Amino acid sequence: MKIRCFATAVALSAVCVALASSPDAGTRPLIQNAHARDALSLDGQWKIIVDPYENGYYDYRLNPTDEGYAQDRDYTDRTRLQEYEFETDRSLNVPGDWNTQMPELYYYEGTVWYRKRFNYTPEASCRQFLHFDGANYNTIVWLNGRRLGNHRGGFTGFTFEVTDLLNDGENSVVVKVDNKREPEGVPTVNSDWWNYGGITRSVNLLETPATFISDYTLHLADTPNGGLSGCITLDGDDKASREFTVTIPELKATVSGVTDADGHAEFSLKARPELWSPESPRLYDVTFAIDGDDVADRIGFRTIATDGTRLLLNGKEIFCRGISIHEEAPFTNGRAWNRDQAETLLDWAADLGCNFVRLAHYPHNEHMVRAAEERGMLVWSEIPVYWTIHWDDADTYANAERQLSDMIARDRNRCAVVVWSIANETPVSDARNRFLGSLADKARALDGTRLIGAAMEKREVSPGVMTVDDPLSDIIDLVSFNEYVGWYDGTNEKCDRVSWTFDVKKPVFISEFGGGARYGCHGDTTTLFTEENQEDLYRRHTAMLDRIPGLAGCTPWILKDFRSPRRQLRGIQDDFNRKGLVSEQGQKKKAYYVLRDWYARKRAAHTQR
């Protein structure tokens, strides 16, 4: 049995220490559970300047003492030449993408400057941090005309300490956001989702004590006697030899200890928690405390393991009835960012009978992960190493590894996350194999409590016989792959005659299958993009899946129609990928009910075992 379900004390220590490095200029390590901190929300209306030629940035680069647009001047002397002014320009909502808020920016890729003024009186004994949940893609931040630093990547958070830079009274944050696609980027220039630009997730000014709890982990212990183990890390000048406590009231469990010279400590707790599962998503209130600071969280405990071709949750075989989801809002179809949007998407998945969601193709917002955990849905979380990127570029690899580390840093206490996915549909090559092998090693070094996956691709070895012979199969924990038999590979009837064989004895997981249909488009089963064709494809496809040996789960593509500039068929696609089982307006297509019925049968069959 190969198990990725526990973290030893050594591994836990490595997690807390390994994630302490700063990934981008000026940023600091993420603060664990940042939303539990005292905070001033900076969400709402921000003034903007659209700057496709980046004139504001070039002004800064040519004359750094001027700071360009970041200086945020108020112009009252109209005899003085000026060609920008935040106060008289337009506004956008934050969080939010600019593409769906302003029609003229629908296809825009480039720079938009954001400005937010706010009043604040800093506590003299406290520290302050400007925290962004996410902005796409290259972001530079100034506070009161002082450059804080930059962040690269569209789907992970970043934080700057601003304790000594805040004014007592009015303050101004200026943010340059640039979503231009980059050949060396992660993702690279070509993808199959909308390149939403802007400050797409919440912004908060966090306040902490001078010395505070910056990080922690808590998991089932890998010891014969069971229990729990974890680690805690402090930040501040007074972090050495500090007494801490960890308390779980419902388990009547408390442990105390003292941090080392680096403000770090490991601990264990004697406790026997009820294990989290889709049927019983048990979470416990946990408090981490030192004198002067405490952080509350809700944490669940579970094991995840593989045994040959079986996938085991808490030691019992499970079949993952899943669906893939993009971070796109129901009904409004811009970038999703809030709790209500997450709950609507998960409501649709729950009605399908899902116990698993693949959050593709990048780390989704924290609301989505926590809402899935509370509802008892297992989570596959992914970084945007997508299709063909610059495998030999050291900076590209460093960017991918930073995004992987940030994804793990934020969500490693979320027991619902059982798979860290390192790639999607990447063509095999020696350079790619080295790149992804290093990412897999990094993920395991940071977190030994989850499986490592990737969406590979299948191959037809002889007529009607399919397999996966990707060398990545030997590195990751699942034979996980995308296959579109009946859509990109033949017509629907091909599903009736396909068989599958695998040399690697690991659980088989179909990370994508499906086909497109526009809601309300009707015809016979052979006419593409009709609901009847998609319905027939799902009937035949699920019957084919029943014949796959070692199948442990699947996440069909996809829950909801989503925007993609690759999908241009007028009157059918209209900038939407139509493979959703639900339309962009929430209407359920015929294939939705086919999958729901199949999942009901799979659940009943599994329950009878």
Measured CA to CA, the distance from residue 139 to residue 414 in angstroms comes to 27
At 68 the pLDDT is 61
Give every CB contact of residue 35 below 8 A, 6+ residues apart in sequence: 204, 366
Q: What are the phi and psi torsion angles at 527 (to 5°)?
A: -95, 120
pTM across the whole model: 0.94
Q: What is the pLDDT of residues 564-574, one digit of tens each?
A: 999 999 999 99
HEC per residue, 107-134: CCCCEEEEEEEEEECCCCCEEEEEEECC
Stretch (H or E) spanning 300: none
At 13 the pLDDT is 44
Using alpha carbons, list the distances in angstroms from residue 2 to 306, 476, 516, 569.
6, 12, 38, 47
The answer to whether the CB of 555 falls within 8 A of the CB of 380 is: yes
Structure tokens at 315: 């030691």
C-alpha of 607 from chain center: 31
HEC per residue, 260-287: CCCCEEEEEECCCCCCCCCCCCCCEEEE
Strand-pairing partners, residue 279, are none
Q: What is the pLDDT of residues 97-156, one digit of tens each?
A: 999 999 999 999 999 999 999 999 998 899 999 999 999 999 999 999 999 999 999 999
Query: In this structure, how many other beta carbons lie within 10 angstroms of the beta carbon of residue 461?
Result: 11
At 496 the pLDDT is 97
Where the chain has pLDDT below 70, the residues are 1-23, 58-68, 71-78, 608-609
Using alpha carbons, list the distances in angstroms from residue 153 to 128, 167, 203, 265, 386.
23, 29, 16, 31, 14
Query: In this structure, how many other beta carbons lie within 10 angstroms of the beta carbon of residue 491?
Result: 17
* Domains delineated in the chain: 2-18+213-301 (2.60.40.10), 34-209 (2.60.120.260), 305-607 (3.20.20.80)
